[in-house]
Amino acid sequence: MLRLPEFNYVKPKSLQEAARLMADLGNDAMIVAGGTDLYPKMKRGQFTPKHLISLKTLSEMKGIRVDDKDGMWIGAGETLTAVAQHPQVNELFPALAQAAGSVSSPQLRNVGTIGGNIFVDTRCNYYDQTFFWRHAAGFCMKKDGQICLVAPKSKVCLAAFSSDTAPVFCSLDATAHLIGRDGGRAVPFTQLYGRDGINYLAKRNDELLRAITIPRSVFGRRSVYLKLCRRGSFDFPVLGVAATLKLNADGMCDTATVVLTAVSSVPVYVDVDSILRGQKITAELIESVAETAAAVSHPVDNTDMDYWYRKRMTKVYVKRALAQLSGVTLKGPQTRK
Ligand X SMILES: Cc1cc2nc3c(=O)[nH]c(=O)nc-3n(C[C@H](O)[C@H](O)[C@H](O)COP(=O)(O)OP(=O)(O)OC[C@H]3O[C@@H](n4cnc5c(N)ncnc54)[C@H](O)[C@@H]3O)c2cc1C
What's the CA gap between 139 and 299, in Å, rounded?
21
Q: How far is the CB of 294 from ligand X (least distance, A)?
A: 22
Task: Between 133 and 295, name the residue whose CB sits nearer to ligand X.
Answer: 133
Minimum Å gap between C-beta 81 and ligand X is: 11
The answer to whether the beta carbons of residues 321 and 257 sit under 8 Å apart is no
CA distances from 1 to 44, 57, 130 (A): 11, 29, 11
Cβ-contact 80, 109 below 8 angstroms: yes
Interface residue list for ligand X (CB under 6 A): 30-38, 40, 55, 76, 80, 103-104, 108, 112-113, 115-117, 119-121, 162-164, 208-209, 234-236
**CA distances from residue 125 to 142, 301, 303 in whole angstroms, order as listed:** 12, 9, 6
Closest CA to 245 of 279, 212, 215: 279
Nearest one of 79, 103, 41, 107 to 229, comparing CA atoms:
103
Q: Could you give phi then psi for residue 242, rounded to 5 degrees?
A: -105, 125
**Cβ closest to ligand X, residue 243 vs residue 330:** 243
Instruction: Give least dist CB 205 to ligand X, A.
Output: 9
Element spanning 134, H or E: helix 131-137
Question: How large is the greatest C-alpha to C-alpha distance in the chain, in angstroms?
Answer: 62
Which CB sits closer to ligand X, 134 or 326?
134
Closest approach, Cβ 235 to ligand X, in A, equals: 6
Q: Are 209 and 76 in contact (CB under 8 A)?
A: yes
Exposure string (b/e) for 31-47, b if CB count within 10 Å is 16 or more? Answer: bbbbbbbbeebbbbbbb
Would you say 35 or 299 has its CB closer to ligand X?
35
Q: Is the CB of residue 127 less than 8 Å from the CB of residue 158?
A: no
User: Looking at beta carbons only, is 120 or 285 nearer to ligand X?
Assistant: 120
Q: Which is nearer to ligand X, 31 or 72 (CB)?
A: 31
**Min CB(103)–ligand X separation in Å:** 4
Residue 117 beta carbon to ligand X: minimum distance, rounded to whole angstroms: 3
Closest distance of CB 276 from ligand X, Å: 28
Which residue is at the shortest CB distance from ligand X? 116
Shortest Cβ distance from residue 208 to ligand X (Å)?
Answer: 4
Burial of 308 from C-beta contacts in 10 A (0-12 / 13-18 / 19+)? exposed
Q: Residue 54 or 90: which CB sits closer to ligand X?
A: 54
Instruction: CB nearer to ligand X: give 132 or 234.
Output: 234
